[in-house]
Structure 1
């Protein structure tokens, strides 16, 4: 595993580099280098959730991405994060993630949450969830039984949700899943440094 630290958004995580037992090496490309929330690519038309960093192994169909966005009040009605249910956090994130101009109900139908739970780390709640998305973005995925399987972790700071998701195709899950689980479990918000740019700062700025 290797460590990625994003000083701009103040988080870190581990990601797999090799699978020694399989004699396999990942071919990572940093498709989005860490950037401030205001300039990041939106995940949906309303631009609530935005990808602030992403690395992709295109050969092996593995994606690790970090997104930031405000809580969706339709699912997370309370301001007190300690009262939030893990399934509601998962649904809130998934409802804001679709890139299609469709209704929230249709977005939710694309995905299924398989598991969701909360764990406190250093006194702060982290919500973990597993889900599948039936519409695979890969052209090779013509089989209707082939879908993307995701693990994700979400934490809250300064009124924004920070989420890491790791995914691969369902047929590779048995091999890749345990390593992606380690990635998701390693996700941590860090004490901000002088390089930290909070999401609410200069929302009009695009560079």
Structure 2
């Protein structure tokens, strides 16, 4: 009775034909509510936090019994939300420059196909399109999805000694490698410092893969990617991976519009993470070979 009085409402409505029975009903209802609270509190104390069935201090079984389905849906995300998207990837192998990577091709669950077009077929460094007037950094292959505004580009160029000063690549910082690549990545006749001012590096880190360092970095380009863009805050967002061989930096960059990053970013991250330099074959042409040759 003490518990009933403690948890009962502070006053009872007396505007009823039978106040006694109405008050009795309210007391019984209050008792049930108190028992429910005691049950939940007991459950939260009894269940260990290491128990996989426990979330936010409640036991899943007891919550179901109590009918608190809305709480369960918040504390325990459905398997559909947690399930990874069934993404199908396609592979690129460039034996001329000895590298490979995979790119998104299809999302079967959404019946979505990427619309890739190979805008630049793999070619040797000496004949590749330059990214800057000094022709240090050059695109050796590229594919685009114009409909979804995606670009995958592989470039090769020598390190910029202004940023990468040591001969030991194992000591290179990811930020310095990123600055080295970006300093040569501009079609405008400007200085390296001006080229860098066009971009902002968001993240940079290094990983060792198969005994070789790979540098990963993410950045945005401030200039609008389209001439007819109306939004002043419309940037292009990039994620890239770079590796070194024969004194040259090999980089794969993947990009899309900033407003599409939440949707397309995870697929581009998978693409960049798959980038690898391959053991050279008889078809491999080092960047330093026949620099005068344009075919």
Tell me if both proteins adopt one fold, taking TM over 0.5 as the criterion. Answer: yes
Q: What is the CA deviation profile of residues 115-147 of structure 1, one whole-angstrom value per residue up to 9, with x for unaligned ones?
A: 000000011000000000011332242311111
Higher RCO, 1 vs 2 (CA within 8 Å, ≥6 residues apart): 1
Q: Larger radius of gyration, structure 1 or 2?
A: 2
Note the C-alpha offset of 1:101. 0.7
The residue number in structure 2 matching 1:87 is 175
Could you tell me how far apart the structure 2 residues matched to 1:206 and 1:136 are?
32
Whether 1:57 aligns to 2:134 is no
Q: CA RMSD in A?
A: 0.9
Tell me the residue number matched to 2:51: none
- SS of 1:198's equivalent in the other structure is coil
Q: What is the aligned length?
A: 207
1:34 counterpart = 2:122: yes
1:117 is matched with which residue?
Answer: 205
TM-score by length of 1: 0.98
Q: CA deviation at 1:59?
A: 1.4
Q: Deviations over 1:178-197 (max 9, x none)?
A: 00000000000000011000
Write out aligned runs for 1:6-155 (5 A).
Answer: 6-155=94-243
1:106 CA displacement: 1.5
184 and 193 in structure 1: CA distance in 2 versus 1, 3 angstrom threshold: same
Partners of 2:154 and 2:147 lie apart in 1 by 20
Runs of 5+ consecutive residues of structure 1 not aligned to the other structure: none
**For 1:23-70, what per-residue CA distance to the aligned partner results, in whole angstroms no more than 9, with x for missing partners?**
321111100000000000000000000000000011111000000000
Unaligned runs of 5+ in 2: 1-88
- Whether 1:181 aligns to 2:273 is no
| TM-score, with structure 2 as normaliser | 0.69
Task: Kindly indicate whether residue 255 of structure 2 is the aligned counterpart of residue 167 of structure 1.
Answer: yes
